[in-house]
């Protein structure tokens, strides 16, 4: 199996036959197949970890732990489910665990404010540092939902799969998080 044989489209929601074959081989102990999965997904894992953690060293730790958990639990993967969403869920859980252990304030990663679709007036009136501090105060699941949906641009159903929630739960988390962000930012501006 070569890297050219398996392509993971970051917005793809279906497992390709080539990807499933690689996953099966990795699950059966083929280290080259597992390495191929790591190479194909490392960018996605790093992006999610960066959005949640915002620290290079913590992202490295999160990537290492994510791939360790993937290795341990690859046999549990249900081929009827989206592999990329399943891996995103593992990544989010690892990042939440790391944040709980190391609770310092982390600024929002450098990104254009337009990338965040929270509310136009909130973004136009706020600034990146203020928004970063506000997002950092959210509960881990709310922060993950906001970052995956509004920063990463994942569809709500993929955020739900990544967080292990229903679509309705994610919509509630997003709504509450956005309302909290508005209140927090207004309070910080005073």
DSSP 116: -
Alpha carbon 114 to its chain's center: 19
Which residue ranges make up each domain of the chain?
1-105, 107-190
Q: Give the confidence band of 121 by pLDDT, cuts at 50, 70, 90.
A: very low
| CATH class of the domain defined by 107-190 | mainly alpha
Query: Does 1-105 match 107-190 in CATH topology?
Result: no
**Predicted local distance difference test score (pLDDT) of residue 41:** 92
**Predicted local distance difference test score (pLDDT) of residue 116:** 42
**Predicted local distance difference test score (pLDDT) of residue 71:** 92
Residue 75's SS3 state is helix
**Predicted local distance difference test score (pLDDT) of residue 137:** 82
**Fold exhibited by the domain 1-105:** Rna Polymerase Sigma Factor; Chain: A (1.10.1740)
Q: Give the confidence band of 24 by pLDDT, cuts at 50, 70, 90.
A: very high
| H-type alpha helices, the chain | 17-27, 31-53, 56-73, 83-101, 120-125, 128-136, 140-146, 156-163, 167-189
**Predicted local distance difference test score (pLDDT) of residue 119:** 41
* pLDDT, averaged across the chain: 78
Answer whether residue 115 shows pLDDT above 60: no
Whether residue 74 contacts residue 81, with contact meaning beta carbons closer than 8 Å, is answered with no
Burial of 83: CB neighbours in 10 Å, binned 0-12, 13-18, 19+: buried
């Amino acid at each position: 199996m070569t890297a050219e044989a398996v392509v993971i489209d970051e917005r793809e929601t279906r497992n390709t036959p080539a990807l499933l074959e690689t996953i099966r081989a990795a699950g059966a102990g083929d280290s080259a197949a597992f390495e191929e999965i790591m190479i194909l997904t490392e960018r996605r894992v790093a992006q999610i970890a960066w959005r949640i953690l915002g620290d290079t060293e913590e992202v490295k730790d999160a990537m290492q732990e994510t791939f360790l958990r993937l290795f341990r639990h690859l046999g549990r993967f249900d081929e009827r489910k989206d592999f990329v969403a399943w891996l995103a869920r593992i990544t989010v859980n690892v990042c939440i665990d790391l944040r709980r252990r190391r609770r310092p304030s982390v600024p929002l990663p450098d990104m254009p404010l337009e990338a965040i679709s929270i509310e136009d007036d909130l973004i136009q009136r706020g600034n990146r540092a203020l928004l970063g501090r506000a997002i950092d105060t959210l509960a881990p699941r709310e922060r993950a939902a906001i970052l995956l949906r509004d920063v990463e641009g994942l569809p709500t159903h993929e955020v739900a799969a990544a967080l292990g929630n229903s679509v309705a739960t994610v919509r509630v988390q997003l709504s509450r998080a956005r309302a909290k962000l508005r209140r927090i930012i207004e309070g910080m501006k005073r």
